[in-house]
């Protein structure tokens, strides 16, 4: 069974540009989560999508947005990039909504903003 | 606000010994607690989940305890091996209707041969 995949592996942008990160969940998983992991910090929750709808959002500005497609893959968009957006962006998927669902993480996209 | 504390200092132990990692939390009543392993540059990998009504759970060389009175979880790796070297994250969730787990910053474990 293929795991969660993310693309690209690395992404280098300059301040003010836009970045698009992509995620394909495990087959059969309908929930997709996005996290930001900056150097030395824990995973910070960004967004949660389930069945194509945004279910929850972390404490991030509106320039962080995303969507989930009918095939449950997802895209994270970061507009007006700032230097502090440099981080590892992790996508995770899980089965439909449940209180203690195990999350399966992808390898991440390393975003560097210059 | 909710706070999860994991020891920021790396834990160094000798191969064969038992490694014990701590996760403390405040201002939170989680329904469950999870432990993940994360290797450098990789996504976390789920290891164990323990629910609020469980005191202890085991999986092979791993043991997790959950004390909701002390608001603490202990994560043990017995007969540790150099391959166990990684960062270990605890995550709490399910409290107050929130399905999204909140992660600690993790503790680095280094097992010396």
Residue holding tokens 């995770």?
A: A92
B8-41 residue pLDDT tens: 899 999 999 999 999 999 988 888 899 999 998 8
- In chain A, at which residue ranges do the beta strands (DSSP E only) sit? 5-7, 10-13, 19-24, 31-37, 44-50, 53-57, 64-68, 74-78, 87-94, 104-105, 109-113
| CB-based contact A4 B43, cutoff 8 Å | yes
B53-95 residue pLDDT tens: 999 999 999 999 999 999 999 999 999 999 999 999 999 987 6
Name the stretches of chain A with pLDDT < 70: 1, 96-100
| CB-based contact B106 A106, cutoff 8 Å | no
| CB-based contact A100 B89, cutoff 8 Å | no
Three-state secondary structure call for residue A109: strand
CA distance A34 to chain B (A): 11
Both structure tokens of B101: 């787990």
Query: How far is residue B33 from each of residues A92, B66, B77, B85, measured CA to CA in Å?
Result: 17, 8, 17, 21
pLDDT at A3: 93
Q: Which residue of B has its CA nearest to A87?
A: B41
Q: Among residues B94, B51, B102, which one has the least CA distance to residue A98?
A: B94
């Amino acid at each position: 069974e293929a795991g969660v995949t993310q693309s690209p592996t690395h992404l280098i942008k300059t301040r003010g540009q836009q970045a698009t990160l992509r995620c394909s969940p495990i087959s059969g998983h309908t929930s997709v989560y996005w996290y930001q992991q900056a150097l030395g910090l824990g995973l910070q929750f960004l967004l949660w999508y389930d069945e194509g709808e945004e279910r929850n959002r972390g404490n991030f500005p509106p320039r962080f947005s995303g969507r989930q497609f009918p095939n449950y893959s997802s895209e994270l968009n970061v507009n007006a990039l700032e230097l502090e957006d440099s981080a590892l962006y992790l996508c995770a998927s899980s089965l439909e909504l449940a209180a203690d669902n195990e999350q399966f993480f992808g390898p991440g996209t390393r975003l560097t903003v210059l | 606000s909710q706070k999860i504390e994991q020891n920021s200092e790396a834990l160094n132990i000798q191969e064969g010994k038992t490694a014990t990692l701590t996760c403390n939390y405040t201002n939170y009543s989680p329904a469950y607690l999870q432990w993940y392993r994360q290797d450098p540059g990789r996504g976390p990998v789920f290891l164990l989940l323990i629910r609020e009504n469980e005191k202890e759970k085991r999986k092979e060389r791993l043991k997790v305890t959950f004390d909701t009175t002390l608001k603490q979880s202990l994560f043990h790796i017995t007969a540790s091996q150099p391959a166990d070297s990684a960062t270990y994250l605890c995550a709490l969730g399910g409290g107050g209707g929130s399905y999204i787990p909140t992660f600690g910053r993790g503790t680095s474990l280094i097992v010396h041969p």
